[in-house]
Amino acid sequence: MSNQIIAFDSFMPRKLVLTPLLLVGLLSAPVLAGDEWKEEHIMREISYLAQKLLDMSGKDTVKVESPAYVKPFLGVCSEILQEGVKLTCVTPKTQAAKAGLQTGDVVVSMNGLNMVNKDERETKRIYYGIVENMKTGEEMKISLLRDGKRIDVVATVGSLSHPAYVLEVKR
Across the range 64-92, mean pLDDT stands at: 92
Largest CA distance in the chain: 58
Inter-helix orientation angle 39-57/20-32, to 10°: 170
Q: pLDDT (tens digit, 9 = 90+) per residue, 159-171?
A: 999 899 998 888 8
Which one is predicted more confidently, 30 or 142?
142
pTM: 0.62
Domains, the chain, ordered by start = 5-9+69-160 (2.30.42.10), 20-65+164-170 (no CATH)
DSSP state of 52: H
Closest CA to 160 of 57, 71, 69, 99: 71
Across the range 32-47, mean pLDDT stands at: 73
Give every CB contact of residue 144 below 8 A, 6+ residues apart in sequence. 84, 87, 101, 105, 106, 107, 108, 150, 151, 152, 153
